[in-house]
Amino acid sequence: MSANLNWDVVITGGGPAGFFAAIRCAELNPQLKVLIVEKASQTLGKVLISGGGRCNVTHACFEPAELVGFYPRGANELRGAFTRFQPKDTLKWFEARGVKLKTEADRRMFPSTDDARTIANGLREAAQAAGIKVQTGTALLAVEKNKNGFRLELRGAGKLFNLQTKKLLLATGSDAKTQSLVQALGHSIVQPVPSLFTFNVKDKRLDGLAGVSVENVILKMDTITTQGAALITHWGLSGPAVLKCSAWGARILFDKKYASPLTVNWLGDHTFDSALAILHSNKDWKENARKKVATQPAFSQIPLRLWKQLTGFIGEKNWGDLSKAELRKLAQELTAGEFRIQGKGIFKEEFVVCGGVKLSEVDFKTMQSKLIPGLFFAGEVLDIDGLTGGFNFQSAWTTGWLAGNALAENV
Ligand SMILES: Cc1cc2nc3c(=O)[nH]c(=O)nc-3n(C[C@H](O)[C@H](O)[C@H](O)COP(=O)(O)OP(=O)(O)OC[C@H]3O[C@@H](n4cnc5c(N)ncnc54)[C@H](O)[C@@H]3O)c2cc1C
């Protein structure tokens, strides 16, 4: 690329947010010269590895008020944004470009091909058709505001060069270097920390149970309470209830250096009292009196192998031989078992970082900086993150689309 070229719109970051913004902008205003610069050798790298290679594009939740409930950070700002572009619009957007989506039982939406390349190729083809120039292997190094917009310093093919652009969109994801550029421009960055991870829990009650799942548990960690399925892994715990807990508790766990007590109610909606009542009736039931507690579970929702380990403190005793104190201890173990988080593991299907550009400094109708006219943000560069299930891509589509509208306006 030759030096000192002038552009109407430069988009830094060839991820989903950057592509969506660029395409919207170029389709609305074909006169504009639009450039995407991407530091990696290919665009849309995360799309290609997302959702285990299937790309969980969005979530079939079409009510903005309900949808924002899936965002530990960004819910207030996204509420209005989702009234303008929401999962239904994402679905239509892709279908209009020949990419069909399907909805799974848990409302996650994937390309009907089950192949993330379908999404990446759909975006690349739409960008090409809209006349957008894409420059890979090119990193933004510095930004300077001037009277005509922004002067950018970039490095591509081992060379430093400059570009001038009227408008600049930063869609660089969680890239730490860009965050320091944003700070240098006067914006605040909320400290980035990981979200969506599994818990390392070393505990003999879980030993040898990797693969066992419980459909409905309640987890309590500090001030955070989450509910859903849990999966025992080789290293501890995973599954929806754990991932939700890691997302809502991302900052708390970071501050605690990923070491924290964790209370597990393996019986979901049961309380200590309701569980104790069932344990009492189990003991009083004559047919049960001579049956071993370990092999005769009182609750069908707990798999037998887990039941055996949770009742390990009772030994070989029969139901009829349990004391009141033992029944209470068992009710406690089942509804408020004490475990300890000793670290975080990787959830391979999805991973995001919370933190980023402070949301109060951005106008969510246009995604324009409130501090620097002509500067825009979209996607994970912002202090927004969602639970697993397609919510993170949805915020990239929505904020990208809104930015694209504003970028298309003539300057
Ligand atoms: C393994 C994995 C699986 C995931 N699966 C899902 C899923 O199934 N569903 C879901 O909703 N979310 C998923 N996510 C989260 C989702 O990928 C992100 O939320 C989303 O990609 C954010 O989009 P973005 O465009 O803001 O940022 P990114 O996708 O991170 O794109 C930013 C781009 O900017 C480029 N860049 C950074 N700095 C510079 C620079 N200085 N100059 C030039 N270019 C730069 C980067 O190379 C990158 O290509 C997953 C994440 C991971 C890691």
By three-state DSSP, how is residue 232 classified? strand
Separation between Cα atoms, residue 365 and residue 399, nearest integer Å: 9
pLDDT digit string (tens) for 191-213? 999 999 999 999 999 999 999 99
Pairing of strands 197-200, 189-195: unpaired
Q: From the CB of 18, is ligand 1 less than 6 Å away?
A: yes
Question: Per-residue pLDDT averaged across 264-270, rounded?
Answer: 97
Q: What is the pLDDT of residue 332?
A: 98
Q: What DSSP letter does each residue of 55-110 carry, written as one string?
A: ---EES---HHHHGGG-TBTHHHHHHHHHHS-HHHHHHHHHHTT--EEE-TTSEEE
Q: From the CB of 156, is ligand 1 less than 6 Å away?
A: no
CA distances from 344 to 6, 26, 135, 213 (A): 46, 42, 36, 19
Residues contacting residue 193 through CB under 8 Å, at least 6 positions apart: 250, 251, 254, 353, 354, 355
Question: Per-residue pLDDT averaged across 11-31, rounded?
Answer: 98
Q: What is the pLDDT of residue 45?
A: 98
Q: From the CB of 39, is ligand 1 less than 6 Å away?
A: yes
Residue 2 banded pLDDT, cuts 50, 70, 90: very low
Q: Is the pLDDT of residue 146 over 50?
A: yes
Residue with tokens 């964790």: 262
All domains in the chain, ordered by first residue: 5-194+352-407 (3.50.50.60), 197-346 (no CATH)
Atom of ligand 1 at shortest range from CA of 44: 49
Torsion from C-alpha of 66, 398, 76, 386, nearest 10 degrees: 70
Q: Helix 75-84 to helix 391-407 angle, to the nearest 10 degrees?
A: 60
Q: From the CB of 384, is ligand 1 less than 6 Å away?
A: no
Pocket test for ligand 1, best of 114, 354, 392 (most atoms within 8 A of CB): 392
Percentage of the chain exceeding pLDDT 90: 95
Q: Ligand 1 centre from 69 Cα, in Å?
A: 22
Pocket test for ligand 1, best of 38, 41, 44, 50 (most atoms within 8 A of CB): 50
Pocket test for ligand 1, best of 172, 246, 347 (most atoms within 8 A of CB): 172
Residue 410 banded pLDDT, cuts 50, 70, 90: confident
Separation between Cα atoms, residue 266 and residue 103, nearest integer Å: 29
Q: For the chain, what is the mean pLDDT?
A: 96
**Rounded to 5°, angle at Cα 277 from 274 and 280:** 155
